[in-house]
């Protein structure tokens, strides 16, 4: 029987609907490490696929009994927090580690806590961890962290002394430039960068006058996201229609910011629709459709369905689906088939001419060529997946028709078959004749984990197989992934994987 208070870091969880106390049942320390090590780290570019990131986050936000041999293993606990940072961001890791005991003797966990705290402007929490640390407190990172904490308290001499000690171990001119801007009260450098949460915290409290733009080129994706979330959004200064025309002269970050301003402005929602249509088109071209769709999907409900916007209707419906707005998605789906609403034509009545009879305003419907039947079938199947209606008889015809959409359709139908959808006999023939390519060893390990009831391990191995996202997975991989996730009670997230695949394909 464990002593009261001897809580292991893996027993701490912050998921609202996690995987349960026994999420690591059936796993060992070796299999758990194997499931985690090959996932994106906190220093990587993160996840392009939201459903893949959510799959990892669900497993790692959940708390429960550690795997066999894993209790007290700091490497496992630190790896969990690190991979969670890549999948779910700074707030999730900060929240988890705020509840985790024993950070004073776990320097890897302590640094992740301090980094996320500093990045999120929770300096008091970061300094508490920095000052309380027992193991490894003389490392350069912690000397610099305490230098920052001294500077926050106005203890300039102590801050500079701590920075000097860190410099003797590992020079960092960028940190020194940021720190001395605070202790001296003015800038002595012309450029600064931030590739750690500590750097970002220093930049945030440094003197605004003369402050160089903070370069985030070397920053991990999670820190870039924190910076974007806490940066003030510039207001649109030009007339929306004129600003939209001026986009042709913009590029890079300036163009992205202008598009965001146009999409979110309330003055002219017709211009907002055109801007969002352009943003989604470019995102599809660049392989970032899901990111942009999730960022702006809630805006679709405020856009007018008219002749000028119906050309974007397919992508608008998909963006609404990406954020779970079924009602708006259906409105655009219907408009795609029936065409834009009637429009009023100008009357010929002239009130300055006596005796002229007022005619009634005429109406017409602009000529509209709806998308192909195969596209609408794919869209309707996406609706069925979003609502988990794939086992209904009404979905059988959609699934049969989708199978005719080549390699993409084969993967869609195979993935849904893994979730119990009625698969036509033609699926078996198509699978028999399909090129399978190389099969990941992680796929077989995932199958075995699912058979053993190892829920967290199954989820993490499935995420490994989905390295290229749902749209890049083969039919064989999708069928086995969805079946494995369904077997361990993760049907909802398996459906989200298939929905993301359909959205990306149809975009």
Q: DSSP letters along 284-309, please?
A: HHTT-HHHHHHHHGGGGGGS--STTT
Please write down the HEC assignment for all residues of 431-499.
HHHCCCCCCCHHHHHHHHHHHCCCHHHHHHHHHHHCCCCHHHCCHHHHHHHHHHHHHCCCHHHHHHHHH
Place of tokens 């490894």: 136
Q: What percent of the chain has pLDDT over 90?
A: 81
Closest listed residue to residue 389, CA positions, set 495, 475, 318: 495
Query: For the residues 359-375, what does the mean pLDDT come to?
Result: 73
Q: What percent of the chain has pLDDT over 70?
A: 94
- Residue 259 pLDDT exceeds 90: yes
Give residue 366's pLDDT band: very low, low, confident or very high (50, 70, 90): low
pLDDT for the residue numbered 344? 57
pLDDT for the residue numbered 4? 45
Beta strand spans in 299-358 (E): 343-344
Closest listed residue to residue 45, CA positions, set 302, 225, 176, 279: 225
Give residue 3's pLDDT band: very low, low, confident or very high (50, 70, 90): very low
How many Å is the Cα radius of gyration of the chain?
A: 27
Q: Let me know: does 498 contact 412? Beta carbons within 8 Å.
A: yes
Residue 330 CA to residue 317 CA, distance in Å, equals 7
How many residues would you count in the chain?
A: 507
| φ/ψ of residue 192, rounded to 5 | -140, 155
- Residue 19 pLDDT exceeds 80: yes
Query: For the residues 445-473, what does the mean pLDDT come to?
Result: 98
Give the other-Cβ count within 10 Å of 85's Cβ. Answer: 28
Give residue 39's pLDDT band: very low, low, confident or very high (50, 70, 90): very high
Q: Which helix (H) or strand (E) holds 214?
A: strand 214-215
Residue 432 CA to residue 424 CA, distance in Å, equals 14
Beta strand spans in 246-369 (E): 343-344, 363-364
Domains of the chain, first to last: 9-181 (1.25.40), 240-335 (no CATH), 373-506 (no CATH)
Query: For the residues 172-196, what does the mean pLDDT come to?
Result: 94
pLDDT for the residue numbered 171? 95
Closest listed residue to residue 253, CA positions, set 287, 285, 227: 227
Which DSSP state fits 48? S
Residue 94 CA to residue 12 CA, distance in Å, equals 12
pLDDT for the residue numbered 349? 54
Could you tell me the sign of the dihedral formed by the alpha carbons of 427, 428, 433, 439, in that order? positive
Closest listed residue to residue 405, CA positions, set 433, 432, 373, 436: 373
- Residue 445 pLDDT exceeds 50: yes
Which DSSP state fits 28? B
Q: Let me know: does 316 contact 276? Beta carbons within 8 Å.
A: yes
Average confidence score pLDDT of the chain: 92
pLDDT, tens digit, for every residue of 412-440?
A: 999 999 999 988 899 999 999 988 778 88
- Residue 51 pLDDT exceeds 60: yes
| Alpha-carbon distance values, 71 to 10, 39, 281, 388 (Å) | 8, 22, 49, 38
- Residue 361 pLDDT exceeds 60: no
Dihedral angle over CA of 320, 325, 328, 332, nearest 10: 40
Could you tell me the sign of the dihedral formed by the alpha carbons of 320, 321, 327, 330, in that order? positive
Q: Let me know: does 65 contact 103? Beta carbons within 8 Å.
A: no
- Residue 8 pLDDT exceeds 90: yes
Residue 346 CA to residue 480 CA, distance in Å, equals 59
- Residue 343 pLDDT exceeds 70: no
- Residue 214 pLDDT exceeds 60: yes
3-state secondary structure (DSSP) of residue 215: strand
Burial 154-188 (b: 16+ CB within 10 A, else e): eebebbbebbeebbeeeebebbbbbbbbbbeeebe
Give residue 1's pLDDT band: very low, low, confident or very high (50, 70, 90): very low
Closest listed residue to residue 81, CA positions, set 47, 109, 51: 109
Q: Any alpha helices (H) in 89-155, and if so which ranges?
A: 90-98, 107-119, 123-132, 140-152
Query: For the residues 231-236, what does the mean pLDDT come to?
Result: 75
- Residue 186 pLDDT exceeds 80: yes
Partner residues linked to 343 by β-bridges: 364
Query: For the residues 260-273, what does the mean pLDDT come to?
Result: 94
Residue 433 CA to residue 233 CA, distance in Å, equals 53
Question: Which tokens sit at 355?
Answer: 């005796």
Interaxial angle between packed helices 29-37 and 455-465, expressed in degrees from 0 to 180 and rounded to the nearest 10: 30
Beta strand spans in 326-449 (E): 343-344, 363-364
Dihedral angle over CA of 491, 496, 497, 500, nearest 10: 160
Q: Measure the CA angle with vertex 246, ends 243 and 247; round to 5°.
A: 95
3-state secondary structure (DSSP) of residue 411: helix
């Amino acid at each position: 029987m464990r002593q009261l208070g001897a809580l292991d870091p893996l027993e701490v969880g912050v998921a609202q609907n996690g995987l349960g106390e026994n999420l690591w049942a059936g796993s060992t320390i070796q299999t758990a490490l194997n499931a985690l090590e090959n996932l994106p780290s906190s220093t990587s570019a993160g996840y392009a696929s939201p459903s893949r990131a959510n799959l990892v986050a669900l497993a790692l936000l959940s708390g429960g009994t550690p795997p066999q041999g894993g209790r007290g293993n700091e490497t496992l606990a630190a790896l969990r927090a690190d991979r969670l940072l890549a999948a779910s961001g700074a707030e999730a890791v900060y929240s988890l580690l705020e509840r985790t005991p024993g950070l004073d003797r776990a320097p890897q966990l302590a640094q992740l806590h301090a980094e996320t705290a500093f990045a999120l402007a929770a300096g008091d929490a970061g300094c508490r961890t920095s000052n309380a640390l027992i193991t490894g407190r003389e490392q350069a990172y912690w000397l610099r962290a305490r230098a920052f904490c001294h500077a926050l308290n106005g203890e300039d001499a102590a801050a500079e002394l701590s920075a000097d000690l860190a410099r003797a171990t590992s020079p960092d001119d960028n940190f020194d430039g940021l720190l001395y801007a605070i202790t001296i009260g003015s800038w002595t450098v012309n450029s600064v960068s931030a590739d750690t949460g500590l750097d970002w915290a220093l930049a945030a409290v440094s003197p605004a006058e003369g402050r160089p733009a903070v370069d985030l080129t070397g920053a991990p994706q999670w820190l870039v996201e924190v910076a974007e979330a806490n940066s003030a959004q510039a207001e649109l200064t030009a007339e929306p229609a004129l600003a939209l025309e001026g986009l042709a002269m913009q590029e890079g970050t300036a163009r992205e910011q202008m598009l965001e301003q146009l999409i979110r402005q309330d003055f002219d929602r017709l211009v907002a629709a055109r801007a969002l249509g352009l943003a989604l088109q470019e995102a599809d071209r660049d392989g970032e459709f899901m990111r942009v769709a999730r960022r702006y999907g809630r805006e679709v409900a405020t856009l007018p369905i008219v002749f000028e916007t119906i050309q974007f209707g397919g992508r608008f419906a998909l963006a609404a689906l990406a954020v779970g707005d079924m009602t708006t998605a259906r409105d655009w789906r219907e408009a795609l088939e029936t065409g834009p609403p009637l429009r009023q034509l100008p009357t010929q009545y002239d009130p300055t001419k006596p005796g002229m009879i007022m005619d009634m305003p005429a109406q017409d419907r602009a000529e509209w060529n709806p998308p192909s039947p195969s596209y609408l079938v794919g869209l309707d199947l996406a609706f069925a997946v979003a609502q988990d209606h794939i086992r209904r008889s009404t979905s059988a015809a959609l699934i049969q028709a989708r199978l005719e959409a080549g390699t993409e359709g084969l993967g869609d139908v195979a993935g849904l078959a893994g979730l119990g959808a009625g698969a036509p006999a033609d699926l078996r023939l198509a699978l028999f004749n399909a090129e399978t390519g190389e099969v990941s060893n992680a796929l077989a390990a995932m199958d075995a984990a699912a058979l053993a009831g190892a829920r967290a391990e199954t989820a993490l191995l499935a995420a490994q197989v989905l390295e290229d996202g749902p749209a890049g997975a083969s039919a064989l991989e999708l069928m086995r992934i969805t079946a494995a996730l369904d077997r361990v009670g993760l049907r909802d997230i398996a459906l989200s994987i298939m929905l993301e695949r359909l959205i990306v394909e149809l975009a």
